[in-house]
Amino acid sequence: MVSHFSQMAAWPLSLHGILRFPETRFPWRPPPHWPALDDAVGIATCLPGLVPLNNAAGRGRRFLVRSSAEDGPAKRWSCEDNEKWSKRGEKMDLLTADSLLLKIRPFLQFATDNFLPIAIVCGAVFGLTWPKVGQFAYHCGLSKWSASGIFIISGLSLQTEELEKALEKWPIVLFGLVSILLITPLASSFVLQVNLAPREFVKGMAIFCCVPTTLSAGVTLTQLAGGNSALALALTLISNLLGVFTVPFMISKLVADGEGVSVPTSSLLKSLVEILLIPLLVGKVFRKYGAGVADFIDRRRKQFSLLRSFFLILVPWMQVSCSRSLLLQVDAVNLVAVTCLAIFVHLVFLAWNAAAISMFYLYPGGDRLASRIPTIRTVILTSSQKTLPVALAVLGSLGGALGETGLLAVPCVAAHIMQIIVDSLLVNMWIQRDSNKKVL
């Protein structure tokens, strides 16, 4: 009896092998105590659907298909039928996989295009839910290493071959640098007049106004808008290099003095040089003089962009984890208010740069305004944005001099996400306008 049930248990495995892989020719013989073909209904009761034929070869290569006596005459099922149904099943699997991929492809594309804001939100939620992991990482010094990793990758990805061409338009470059580093930071004095609780929200927004332009978003949006990519790259590189020296003094004079506190300017400058400038230059040197480094990075630009975004989300994740108790006490109305403030400030930057660069081209003897639309769009986008990595590096270097670091980071993250959304809508409007002109 034990032998009978063991052979019965082994039968489904043998059956699956013959059906799924019909070319597999392993020997199989039915047990001598199994009934003959005329009594196959009894076997069908135990194994509904397929019954082996007790043929002369004894290999079980053909099957009798029936599930009960009421199903009518039995059908002989050969290995050729197995091959047909196996191929049909594989086709059905492929069709199912393809249809599923077509359904989820838009969501995957959206997640890839908006990886940074989605990851930042997920990191903040993770920090609020499990704060001990982020606190441990912060105390291990991961914050500084992640900030340095951002700028090492930026240096490795930095293409400066077109900078000389962009510097030929030095008046435009000079105007953009003045707007990024000197004029737009003046908005921090007006931001500090806003009455919003907690006070760190206002201070964080004021600090965000003092940092240089974005490292990659401005150049990317400029390319999409049909702007001058070389000019955008020049403004990005030069403003971030000079920003290492201007940001500490702007924060000290415009933000700290306005709040009646002192900021260690010299130590902040030293920290920014160590965290930002040196890693950026190291990455650029490796790209320029490393054998095959430039080609390797350029072929994997998207992967390195995702890696840089991963390093970037580590900083707010750790800061949110360390400030969890204070963040949970913040009213949701204040979060909406600081988000609206960030949108308003960015709209002011866009309006200022659009008006200023347009007036720059309207002086007597200047070029026609319509012929300079790519340059105008480039200046509007790159001179109105502010970079989140530098802002977070500054907050980490302040050491709590202006308040709780996690609360200071909230308006910076909100402002970064909102400026990307607003500028994306602006670029789409420009693209539609250009397409309409081509049709006309």
Higher pLDDT, 45 or 339: 339
State pLDDT tens for residues 3-19.
Answer: 444 444 444 444 444 44
Quick one: pLDDT at residue 96?
60
Quick one: pLDDT at residue 40?
41
Q: What is the DSSP string of 81-139?
A: HHHHHHHHHHHHHHHHHHHHHHHHHHHHHHHHHTHHHHHHHHHHHHHHHSHHHHHHHHH
Quick one: pLDDT at residue 432?
82
Quick one: pLDDT at residue 10?
44
Query: Do β-strands 51-52 and 75-77 pair in parallel, antiparallel, or remain unpaired?
Result: unpaired
pTM of the model: 0.67
Quick one: pLDDT at residue 285?
87
State pLDDT tens for residues 391-434.
Answer: 888 888 887 778 888 888 889 988 988 898 888 888 888 888 88
Average pLDDT over residues 368-376: 72
Number of Cβ within a 10 Å radius of residue 321: 25
Indicate the range of 58-72, 101-115, 143-157, 396-410 predicted with least confidence: 58-72
Quick one: pLDDT at residue 42?
40
| Owner of token pair 């927004």 | 205
Q: What share of the chain in percent tops pLDDT 70?
A: 70
| Owner of token pair 């199912």 | 96
Indicate the range of 87-96, 228-237, 344-353, 407-416 predicted with least confidence: 87-96
C-alpha to C-alpha distance for 397 and 267, rounded to whole angstroms: 8
Task: For residue 64, give Cα distances in angstroms to 39, 41, 171, 248.
Answer: 12, 10, 88, 85
Question: Residue 232 in contact with residue 382, Cβ under 8 Å?
Answer: yes
274, pLDDT greater than 90: no
Quick one: pLDDT at residue 179?
94
Quick one: pLDDT at residue 304?
84
State pLDDT tens for residues 172-210.
Answer: 889 999 999 999 999 999 999 988 888 889 999 999 999
341, pLDDT greater than 80: yes
Average pLDDT over residues 326-332: 80
Quick one: pLDDT at residue 35?
43
Average pLDDT over residues 243-256: 88
CA angle (86, 87, 90) in 5-degree steps: 90
52, pLDDT greater than 50: no
C-alpha to C-alpha distance for 210 and 200, rounded to whole angstroms: 15
Average pLDDT over residues 218-235: 82
- Joined together, the tokens standing for residue 252 give 């000290």
Higher pLDDT, 48 or 287: 287
Question: Residue 276 in contact with residue 394, Cβ under 8 Å?
Answer: no
State pLDDT tens for residues 308-321.
Answer: 878 878 878 887 88
State pLDDT tens for residues 126-135.
Answer: 888 888 888 8
Average pLDDT over residues 134-139: 86
